Amino acid sequence: MFVAKRLMTKAEEWAKEKGYKQLILNVFHNNELAVNVYKHLGYEIEVVKMVKVL
């Protein structure tokens, strides 16, 4: 997670320098490792997208 944390910290710094107020991430729900990393970094689940394969 150390690399992920460093990358996300740099992305957040860049976004703040550009005047952005938030970062939005897309991650698959079943990618538990990524979801947990983002939660650890302070990101929250905001939208749930429902999909049905036909």
Look-up of token digits 């990358």 = 7
Helix (H) or strand (E) holding 39: helix 32-40
Give 22-43 pLDDT, tens digit per residue. Answer: 999 999 989 999 999 999 999 9
Q: What radius of gyration do the chain's Cα atoms show? A: 13
Q: What is the DSSP string of 1-13?
A: -HHHHHHHHHHHH
Helix (H, G, I), strand (E, B) or coil at 37: helix
pLDDT of 54: 97
* Helix orientation angle between 32-40 and 2-17, rounded to the nearest 10 degrees: 60
DSSP 19: T
Give 1-13 pLDDT, tens digit per residue. Answer: 689 899 999 999 9
